């Protein structure tokens, strides 16, 4: 009888101590949360909601594209892997919103998204309306053409009076306007539609970034990358975009990104999804 009593007391003590301990942790993390919410609320609000709202335009392999995974259509890609790694660090779930690229940039600025992850180039112009993290990828510019026109287009000048496509709202619009000044710019919201126009011959060229161009060419035997040099602008590197006023989230993301980059994770994500995007074709 005595023994049982003793154990009961010990057990009760453990339970009480345990409760105190966890009570303390909850208390202190709640205090931390409210103090950071006072200084800058974005990060704390996201953690409290347990979900981060991410905008993208999933027409951009290997960074974001649709693929069948275990029988269901899903958004996959290097940006998706990166966002998942970030969400894990933050301890939150991800809510994706897949729209046209220009729509995504607009809803980001309106504050309807917590971040935009879509191979977004951190340009000086965009910095007037949104925040950017560190860069995580440096692209090059390519021109996708019909394979049969390889000999016809060997210089930007060969596109004189021709139609050259770019995604609506992308920096490629500006590149066509400045570097293909004698061509006619055709801006369309979704990249697969631009690709179709090149295939059908209603567009003569399409400016896309290197990985994306290579991916669409891998999926379409009748397309090729023209032997034409497009100059890079200074600010086309990919970053995560945030609405203004998200400085606390920006700082946190920079810490996480620096770690992912140092660990070689981003390169790993790009390589893995490059394979995935290009195999899908076969
Ligand atoms: N890097 C280019 C830009 O920022 C193109 C990005 C397009 N992204 C996409 N997911 N379609 O304008």
How many angstroms separate the alpha carbon of residue 59 from the centre of ligand 1? 9
Query: Among candidates 216, 190, 177, which has minimal Cα distance to 103?
Result: 190
Provide the pLDDT for residue 1. 45
Where are the CATH 3.40.190.10 domain residues in the chain?
47-138+237-281, 141-233
Q: Is 98 helix (H, G, I), strand (E, B) or coil?
A: strand
Q: In terms of CATH, what superfamily is 47-138+237-281?
A: Periplasmic binding protein-like II (3.40.190.10)
Testing ligand 1's pocket by substitution, the residue of 54, 83, 98, 120 carrying the most ligand atoms inside 8 A of its CB is 120
Residue 112, Cβ neighbours under 10 Å: how many?
13
pLDDT band at 8 (very low <50, low <70, confident <90, very high): low
Residue 64 Cβ contacting ligand 1 at under 6 Å: yes
98 - beta bridge partners? 56
54 - beta bridge partners? 96, 115
C-beta separation of 228 from 153 below 8 A: yes
> Residues 162-167: what's their mean pLDDT?
98
> Which residues, other chains included, contact 152 with Cβ-Cβ below 8 Å and sequence gap of 6+?
158
Residue 146 Cβ contacting ligand 1 at under 6 Å: no
Q: Is the pLDDT of residue 18 over 60?
A: no
Provide the pLDDT for residue 188. 98
How many angstroms separate the alpha carbon of residue 270 from the centre of ligand 1? 15
Provide the pLDDT for residue 209. 98
Q: Name the CATH architecture for the domain at 141-233.
A: 3-Layer(aba) Sandwich (3.40)
Among the atoms of ligand 1, which is closest to the Cα of residue 238?
Answer: 1
DSSP letters, 174-205, are: HHHHHHSTTSEEEEESSHHHHHHHHHHTS-SE
C-beta separation of 261 from 154 below 8 A: no
Instruction: Dump pLDDT digits (tens) for 188-208.
Output: 999 999 999 999 999 999 999
C-beta separation of 267 from 79 below 8 A: no
Q: Is 125 helix (H, G, I), strand (E, B) or coil?
A: helix
Provide the pLDDT for residue 7. 54
Among the atoms of ligand 1, which is closest to the Cα of residue 169?
Answer: 12
Provide the pLDDT for residue 255. 98
């Amino acid at each position: 009888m005595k023994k049982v009593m003793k154990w009961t007391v010990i057990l009760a003590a453990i339970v009480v101590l345990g409760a105190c301990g966890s009570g303390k942790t909850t208390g202190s993390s709640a205090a931390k949360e409210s103090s950071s919410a006072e200084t800058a609320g974005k990060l704390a609000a996201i953690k409290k909601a347990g979900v981060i709202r991410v905008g993208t335009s999933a027409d951009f392999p290997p960074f974001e594209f649709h693929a069948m995974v275990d029988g269901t259509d899903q958004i996959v890609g290097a940006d998706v892997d990166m966002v998942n790694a970030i969400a894990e660090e933050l301890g939150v779930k991800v809510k994706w919103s897949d729209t046209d690229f220009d729509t995504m940039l607009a809803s980001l600025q309106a504050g309807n998204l917590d971040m935009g992850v879509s191979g977004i180039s951190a340009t000086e112009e965009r910095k007037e309306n949104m925040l950017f993290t560190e860069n995580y990828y440096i692209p090059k510019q390519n021109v996708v053409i019909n394979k049969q026109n390889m000999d016809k287009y060997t210089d930007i000048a060969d596109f004189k009076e021709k139609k050259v496509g770019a995604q609506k709202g992308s920096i490629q619009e500006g590149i066509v306007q400045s570097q293909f000044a004698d061509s006619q710019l055709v801006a369309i919201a979704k990249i697969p539609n631009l690709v179709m126009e090149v295939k059908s011959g209603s567009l003569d060229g399409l400016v896309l970034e290197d990985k994306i161009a290579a991916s669409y060419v891998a999926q379409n035997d009748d397309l090729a990358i023209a032997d034409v040099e497009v100059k890079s602008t200074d600010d086309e590197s990919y970053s995560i975009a945030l609405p203004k006023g998200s400085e606390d989230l920006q700082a946190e993301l920079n810490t996480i990104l620096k770690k992912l980059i140092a660990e070689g994770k981003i390169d790993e994500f790009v390589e893995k999804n490059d394979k995935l995007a290009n195999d899908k074709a076969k």
